[in-house]
Amino acid sequence: MSLDSAKRITFSQRVHNAAESFSTHISSLSRRLQKHFQEPPPTPFRRELILSLTTLQTGILDAATFTTYGIFVGNMTGNVVFLGLAISGLYNNSIIPSIIALASFFFGGWITGLFDRIAHQREKGYPRFFYVLFTIFHLIVYFIAAALIYTSVIPQGSQDNSRLGLFVLLAVGQGSQIVVTKKAGLPEFTTNVITSTIADLSADLDPVHLERGWRSKLRRVASVVSLLLGAIIGGYVFGREGFGITLFLAGAISGLIALGWGL
């Protein structure tokens, strides 16, 4: 055998060994990731941070959509009231946006629940995969909505029927999102509507024994404060950068939330 032939065989063996080693590492990494994403959601503290971010995001979205279109995509209580006022003739707006937002929100919750039942997520203890999968879905929906506004496919503030597509995207995302957060095991975080949260805070307030149930109280306070901060941030960004950037911000927050669930 010539020297050149021996070198070629040695090089070929090295390539083969490197490929085998790489394949082994990838296979091992895949198994570890699969095991990791089948584990239960993170610690209560991290879930508290994640759901605070989720509530903040809802405040940002509702502040922007209400300012622009007089409609909510997260707070369906407000939309039900608007619908009633529009039907009664006291609200100078069409009933269509409220109906579209309500139906889309319902659909977003329904598809999330459907996946839950088909994939038997309850039996699996709602693993990290469930939360990450749907949070990425929310991210995609919000980024699509942001791109439509930013590229003027749907002009900001437009009152024609094109705006209804925006309501569909955002309300589907929010409807799905609240169903996901309800599976996180922290019922104090309502993320969308804080009326019951404030009622619970007032009913449970015991000045003599403030230490009792302090963590549950803090979660409720965090929910209220997060929604307020979200509305402030949403209004600030909307007023200075416009609707498209505000929606991109909401999508970026979904990215942080997905990381929080997944890591």
**DSSP 3-state assignment of 202?**
helix
The tokens describing 106, both together, are 């319902």
The confidence score (pLDDT) of residue 61 equals: 95
- Taking CA atoms, 40 is separated from 35, 107, 196, 224, 232, in Å, by 10, 26, 28, 27, 33
Dihedral angle sign, alpha carbons of residues 143, 148, 151, 155? negative
Question: Which pTM value belongs to this model?
Answer: 0.83
Dihedral angle sign, alpha carbons of residues 91, 93, 94, 100? negative
Tokens 């020297």 belong to which residue?
3
Contacts of 97 (CB under 8 A, 6+ apart): 69, 70, 71, 163, 164, 167
Residues of the chain under the 70 pLDDT cut: 1-12, 14-34, 36-37, 123-124, 206-213
The confidence score (pLDDT) of residue 80 equals: 92
- Which of 21, 53, 1, 45 shows the shortest CA–CA distance to 215? 45
The tokens describing 229, both together, are 């901060």
Task: Tell me the residue ranges of DSSP E strands in 12-159.
Answer: none
The confidence score (pLDDT) of residue 11 equals: 57
CB 149 within 8 A of CB 247: yes
The confidence score (pLDDT) of residue 23 equals: 60
- 34: amino acid identity, one letter: Q
The tokens describing 241, both together, are 């950068």
- Which of 125, 127, 121 shows the shortest CA–CA distance to 36? 127
- Residue 197, Cβ neighbours under 10 Å: how many? 22
The tokens describing 129, both together, are 């995969």
CA gap 113, 195 in Å, rounded: 24
CA gap 150, 129 in Å, rounded: 31
The confidence score (pLDDT) of residue 34 equals: 65
The confidence score (pLDDT) of residue 189 equals: 83
The confidence score (pLDDT) of residue 18 equals: 58
The confidence score (pLDDT) of residue 157 equals: 75
CA gap 142, 69 in Å, rounded: 17
